[in-house]
């Protein structure tokens, strides 16, 4: 991930459906503050919604850390989702375009990855998953 995180880090627990909505609202608020266009706000909020739902459904809950980032040229939004769930056994399959296990918006990880500018995923079976995404202002 490029750029430095702002001092505005906000953490939202993800333990139920209402928390997924709170993540969406928080990401939208931070995206507006970072001056992302409406289209880019929608993209990062949609990706965050899918990833928050995955954190809840497949990771058994976890958290989202939302902050602004700045690379010296532009600002953006960084969201890091983490859980202590079972991890992703077949990462290649999970990242395949069109693959969804049926629990989210139907975007899957690959769809969320396409909506953002930077996407990093770390997972270990039995040790959870962390997904970090960044969307930059144009």
C-alpha pair distances (Å), 12 with each of 64, 92, 110: 5, 28, 23
If one counts every other C-beta atom within 10 angstroms of the C-beta of residue 72, the result is 7
Per residue in 8-51, pLDDT (tens digit) is: 899 999 999 999 999 999 999 999 999 999 999 999 999 999 99
Q: Give the residue among 9, 28, 104 at the shortest CA–CA distance from 59.
A: 104
DSSP states of 30-51: HHHHTT--HHHHHHHHHHHHHH
What pTM does this model have? 0.91
What secondary structure does DSSP assign to 55-74, as a single string? HHHTTSSEEEEEEEEE-SS-
pLDDT, averaged across the chain:
91
């Amino acid at each position: 991930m490029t750029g430095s995180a702002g001092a505005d880090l906000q953490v939202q627990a993800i333990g139920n459906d209402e928390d997924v909505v709170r993540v969406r609202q928080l990401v939208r608020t931070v995206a507006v503050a970072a001056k992302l266009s409406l289209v880019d706000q929608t993209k990062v909020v949609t990706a965050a919604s899918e990833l928050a739902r995955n954190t809840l459904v497949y990771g058994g809950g976890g958290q989202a850390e939302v902050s602004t980032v700045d690379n010296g040229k532009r600002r953006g939004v960084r969201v890091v989702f983490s859980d202590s769930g079972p991890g992703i056994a077949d990462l290649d399959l999970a990242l395949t375009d069109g693959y969804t296990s049926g629990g989210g918006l139907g975007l899957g990880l690959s769809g969320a990855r396409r909506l953002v500018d930077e996407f990093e995923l770390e997972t270990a079976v039995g040790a959870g998953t962390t997904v970090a995404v960044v969307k930059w202002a144009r």
